[in-house]
Structure formats: structure tokens, C-alpha cells
Homo-oligomer: A and B are copies of this chain.
Amino acid sequence: MSISTHGQLDSVLARTDANQPAGIERLMDFLRIPSVSTDPAFAADVRRAGEWASNMLKECGFESRLVNTHGHPMVLAKHPGPKGVTAPRVLFYGHYDVQPADPIELWTSPPFEPVIVEGPMGKRVVARGAVDDKGQVMTFLEALRAWHACAGGPPCPVTVILEGEEESGSESFEPFLREYAAELESDVAIVSDTGMWDINTPAITTMLRGLVYVEAKLKGPSHDLHSGLYGGALANPINSLARMIASLHHDDGRIAIEGFYDQVKPLPEKIKKQWDKLDFDDAEFLGKAGVKKGFGEPGFNAMERTWCRPTCDCNGIKGGYQGEGAKTVIASEATAKISCRLVADMDPDDAFNKLSAHLRARVPAGYTLEMKTFGKNPPIRVKDESPYLVAAERGLAKVYGMNPVCIGTGGSIPAVGLLQRILGVESLLVGFGLDDDRVHSPNEKFELTCFRRGALSHAAILAELAGLRP
């Protein structure tokens, strides 16, 4: 069977649409499997969800199998694409496990008995995993199904990996990537686990902040002291640690670590203009956190502060007496957890070294500072001129009638960093979730409009990618 990458998209899109009712049934079947990866009681269900997805991929013409790990299995499926055509090799990533359903009493319908209900934006499916990430996985599985039906397979070589531990720490993911690196070799990855700007505005997340996370323990006296006996005569480790933390910022909110901003480039004018048009509402964003007035680096709004500017936050602190009432103690040590969110082109090791040097320079004479690191993830920024990004933009524009916006996200997505680091492949984060989808919360939902357009978008993006020479 010969496969043409040109001229077939219209029939693929029509097929995707025609498949919708059955696609919704398939999604609901998928959602009925309680694949809660954190709870060992659901281990068999997790595997069953993996098998279910693997079978779907087989129906789409893929060679698919479960790869066992030390934790839950990975789904690994491959399709060679059309014979004789040189097209970019595409890697899809998603996960088939879900968050626990607790608190169960807040659900309006049982979390693993999906229902279709009418909402202000049309029909939606309500269930645990509806959008995170089973619904999003189904967007590209439905696109692959339509391509299979219309063209005998996708218009380019495709690998699909579906993780079963995304919600429980992804411990097996890195070893899996290392072991199967050769088999997974690809030109571009598409990750469907993020959101749109709003229901009508598609988005590609092109900036992800990186992270350096440390624990700093300041050790002073050999044991806890009576604050009457010793108070005033020596550096109090808690006060000293507070001074060290305070010194990390200038009064106006800028980070005061020497050279911290050296690698940070200003936002490209093109992106800045796009973002300004988004009408990001600082007050609404902060209001969701119960905060009336933002605070941060001067000259940036909350969107820029969280998408394209680095941070230095204390995530935890402890020292001395923690109980009720009073204890007149001078603690022998105090500990802080401190993390820096990094943006392109900051290097995590360099950021760690600068943070570490800053803190060490402020340790009281004779005291010691113990530093531990809990992970260093580099920041990610997809280059504007990336042909894959341009292809994905064109695919989304075809479905939505408008260009997607390139947005950032303040958090890290470890999978994206690992795909970059281990496979050397850049990820396009094309997701169809909405802000109000209640991810990780009771009554998680996915708009059927998003489901439909997501499937159409993946079908279109594949056509655009197939038009590229790798």
C-alpha cells in the first residue's frame, strides 16, 4: 500500500471528525481503568491501562509492546511511516497513569465512571485523567487512527512512548530512555500534556524554566544553648540563616547573587509583542493565590516574572523550637531549602555555583554550611526559527483559523528535559488543556471541543512535519 503525504490531509481530517463518536467511547473506556500509579493497590490496573493503550496503537498499525521497568511498564510503539519517503522522525510522549482521586467525597460522579455533561463551553467528559493525560493521549491516538485509515499509516516515521509513572515520580523514565535510546532516535518530540491559552486560542509552550534545588544547613554551636546564658555572645544560627536568605534579593525584588542574570537574555521583541496581546490579567492570576498585590523583579508583569525570569525562592525553613508556646533556646543549626527557577540560557551548574558562593560568603566565622542538591534541570526554549515549531504552528493554524501563541510555563516538565538531554531531541509542547480543567483535583474534566480539535491538530501537524526534509 502506497502512502502519499500530500493531498491526503483533508480526508484525514474528515475521518478524524467522523471517528469522533467512537473516539469519545474509546476515551471513556480508557478512563474507566483506575490507573493510579502512586498506590500499589492499583498496580494491575496501571498495567491494564498500558495494555489497553498498546492495543489501540496496534489498531493504528503500530508495532507496540509493553516494556517492563522496575516500576510500571512503558508503552513503546513504532511505525516506520511511508516507504521511500524521507520525513522527520516524530516521537509522541504522553502518560497513561493518573493522580489518586482523593478527596473522593468532593466528586459529583465517581472518578472512574466517566460521564459526559453539558458545560458552558459545550459537552465535557468528567473523570480522573480526563485531561491529564488520558484525554490528551487520545488526541494523538485518534489522529494516528485517522491517518492509518486514510493513508495506511502516519505520513512520517512515528514512535510513541507512554509512561506509567508520570504521577509518581517517573523513576523508570530516565533508565528507559538510556536503555532504548537507539530505538527511540527521533528528529522531534511532541508532548501533549500542557494547555491552550483559552478554548479558542491554541498555544505551543516554547519556554520551560529549569530548576536548581538545594538544601543549606548552617551549623553553629555544638548543641542547643540556653538563650539566657549565651544570647548576645555568639551568632544565632537562625538569625544568621535569615540574613543569608535575606541577602539573596535586593529590596526591590531583584536577585542579588553576583552574576546571576549574566546569561539571561531579554525576551525577543516578537514574543514580547505576542505576550502583550494576550491580555494576561495579573490581578486574576494573583487572586487565584489569594494575593492582592504582586511582588517581584521590577519592570516585568506577573506573566513575564513566571515565564521568562529566574527566581530564588526559599521552599522550606526550619530551626530551633517548633512546638507550641515558648522555649528559650538558641538552636545549634538551621536549615533552608532554596530553589532557583532558571531561564534560557542559564546553566544549572553555574547557577548552583553562584548561589553556593553567595551563601558561603555569608557564613558566620567558625560556622559551617552543608549544601545538598536535589536536582538540576536546565531551562528549555524552543528557538523561534525551528522548522518543527513553524510546522506545528501551521498545523494548529489550519484547525483553529489563527496562529497559536508561543507561551512559557514557570514550572519544569522533567520528561522534556530528559528527552533533550538523553535523546538530544527537542520537544514541541502542544497541549489542549484549559486552566479550569481541575487537573489533580476532584471533577477533573476535558472539553469535547478540545478533544476534537486536539485530534485534528495532531493530524494536521503530522502532515506539516511530513512536508519537511529532516
Contact = CB atoms under 8 A, between A and B. Distances in A.
Interface of A: 209, 211, 213, 220-223, 225-236, 238-239, 241-243, 245-249, 282, 285-286, 289-297, 302, 305-306, 309-311, 313-322, 325-332, 334, 336-337, 339, 341, 364-366, 374-375, 409-412
Q: Which 8 A-B pairs have the closest CB atoms?
A: A228-B411, A222-B290, A246-B246, A316-B320, A326-B374, A316-B321, A242-B245, A292-B366
B306 A229 contact: yes
B230 A306 contact: yes
Contacts of A232: 296-297, 305-306, 309-311, 313, 341, 410
Contact of A322 (B227, B294, B318, B327): B318
A328 B320 contact: no
Contacts of A320: 314-317, 337
B239 A248 contact: yes
Contacts of A315: 227, 238, 320-321, 326-331
Given A293-B366, A320-B317, A306 B233 contact: yes
A326 B213 contact: yes
A329 B209 CA distance: 15
A229 B236 CA distance: 34
Contact of A305 (B221, B233, B285, B310): B233
A310 B227 CA distance: 11
A365 B329 CA distance: 31
B221 A306 contact: no
Given A213-B328, A315-B328, A341 B295 contact: no
Contacts of A296: 232-234
A285 B231 CA distance: 12
Contacts of A222: 289-291
Contacts of A313: 227, 231-232, 236, 238-239, 330
A321 B248 CA distance: 19
Contacts of A293: 364-366
A245 B238 contact: yes
Contacts of A305: 232-233
A375 B326 contact: yes
A239 B233 contact: no
A410 B317 contact: no
B314 A230 contact: no
A233 B317 contact: no
A422 B170 CA distance: 65
Contacts of A231: 306, 311, 313, 339, 341, 410
A363 to B, nearest CB: 12
B339 A328 contact: yes
A326 B337 contact: yes
A29 to B, nearest CB: 31
A412 B341 CA distance: 46
B230 A289 contact: yes
Residue among A235, A236, A292 having the largest count of chain B Cβ atoms under 10 Å: A236
19 contacts: A222-B289, A222-B290, A223-B289, A227-B411, A230-B306, A232-B313, A238-B315, A238-B317, A239-B246, A239-B314, A292-B366, A315-B320, A315-B326, A316-B327, A317-B319, A317-B320, A318-B318, A318-B319, A320-B337
A31 B206 CA distance: 76
A239 B247 CA distance: 10
Contacts of A412: 228
A289 B305 CA distance: 44
Contacts of A410: 226, 228-232
A200 B69 CA distance: 75
Given A315-B329, A320-B314, A328-B211, A234 B291 contact: yes
A170 B295 CA distance: 47
Residue among A285, A286, A306, A315 having the largest count of chain B Cβ atoms under 10 Å: A315
A246 B235 contact: no
Contacts of A336: 238
